[in-house]
Amino acid sequence: MKVKEIPISLFHSLRLMTLSKKRLTKNGRNSPLIVSLATIPSRLNIVHLTIRSILNQSILPEKIILWLHKDLKNSIPKKLSRLEGEFFEIRFSKLTSSHRKLVNTLKIYPNHIIITCDDDMIYRKNWLENIYNAHQKSPTSIIANQVRCISYYDNKVLAYTKWALINGACNNGKALLPIGACGTLYPPNSLFKDVINSELFLKLTPTTDDLWFKAMSLKQNTTSLLSEYLTKEPIPIWGSQGVSLKKGNIKEDKNRIQWRKVADYYSLHELVK
């Protein structure tokens, strides 16, 4: 987190903490959306702020599901468990990888619109409504608030840092990669059947769910789009970045390695070059 972001993060954290569960959801309109996310032990004490920000949206999801590893059943902070109710529930999984935020929910709600997000962000009040509006214009596409272009040079995958963050389209539309942190919407039947195969995704993309879901969308011939209704970037929660997969995936070039593995396995390179 940048130093200039700390006061903003603290302000919004305190604002959300002053709202009761009833007040959080008071002004939201209902929608047919499921928001799904997962968290890790080091963020158990802050993820309630993310949940509060999702409950405090201009439209209410049908359900918010937070996935925890099964070993955490007896470790849930009261400030998190108190939020459970009509719109929010905590579920448990044997998986520890980030893929669980979508694959576990897909098993339960295969015919629903599912939006994934991160566990260390405060989402802006119009975040959910904006991505839903974009979905209504392109109902069969995967919609993301942040994207990169998977990039090659001389038939070789470039380092992830060379995959441009864009505000428009990639030269090859199939190379557009949704980035999960700002929120990604998956309509029903948008991902290939292998998406829930834990043996495969833990072998091919063990630390990067974005690349696994991208591969599954290509296999299903589903288009990915940048939302037409972009929201201001979510606010990082202060103190949440002590443990982060993103650091290792980028610094150690794990994203390139894992994309190469999954693209080799499914013969995807020619589609996205």
**94-105 as b/e: b if 16+ CB within 10 A:** ebebbbbbbbbb
Q: For residue 1, what pLDDT is reported?
A: 66
- Residue 202 belongs to domain with CATH number: 3.90.550.10
The one-digit pLDDT tens for each residue of the chain (273 residues) are 677 788 899 999 999 999 999 999 998 899 999 999 999 999 999 999 999 999 999 999 999 999 999 999 999 999 999 999 999 999 999 999 999 999 999 999 999 999 999 999 999 999 999 999 999 999 999 999 999 999 999 999 999 999 988 887 899 999 999 999 999 999 999 999 999 999 999 999 999 999 999 999 999 999 999 999 989 999 999 977 655 555 556 667 899 999 999 999 999 999 999
Q: For residue 245, what pLDDT is reported?
A: 53
- How far apart CA 33 and CA 185 sit, in angstroms, is 9
Provide the domain count of the chain.
1
Please state, as a whole number, how many other Cβ atoms lie within 10 Å of the Cβ of residue 65: 20
Nearest partner of 103 among 95, 229, 90, judged by Cα: 95
**Do residues 226 and 167 touch, judged by C-beta distance below 8 A?**
yes
**Nearest-5° angle of CA 165, CA 10, CA 3?**
55
The set of residues, in sequence order, having a beta carbon less than 8 Å from that of 59 and lying 6+ positions away, is 28, 29, 30, 31, 33, 128, 129, 132
Q: For residue 248, what pLDDT is reported?
A: 57
Q: For residue 250, what pLDDT is reported?
A: 65
Instruction: Identify the domain containing residue 85 by its residue range.
Output: 5-272
